[in-house]
Amino acid sequence: MAKIANVVIINNQKTVKVPKGLRLIVRKCCKAILETESFPGLAEIGVTFTDTNGIQELNRQYQLAEPSDEVVFFPTGENGEYVSKASNGAKILGDVVISLEKAEKTRQMHGVTLEREVGYLTAHGVFGLLGYCPMSSKPLERMALRDKVEDIMDLLGLPASPGYAATR
List Cβ neighbours of 95 (8 Å cut-off, separation of 6 or more): 45, 46, 47, 48, 73, 74
The dihedral through the CA atoms of 7, 10, 11, 13 has a sign that is negative
Strands (E), the chain: 3-11, 42-50, 71-75, 83-84, 91-99
CA–CA separation, 19 vs 8, rounded Å?
A: 17
Look up the domain containing 31 and give its range: 3-167
Q: How many domains does the chain have?
A: 1
> Rounded to two decimals, what is the model's pTM?
0.91
CA–CA separation, 97 vs 49, rounded Å?
A: 6
Residues 109-125: tens digit of each pLDDT: 988 999 999 999 999 99
Residues 91-111: tens digit of each pLDDT: 999 999 999 999 999 999 988
* Contact call for residues 165 and 110 (beta carbons, < 8 A): no
Q: What is the CATH number of the domain that holds 64?
A: 3.40.390.30
pLDDT of 139 reads 73
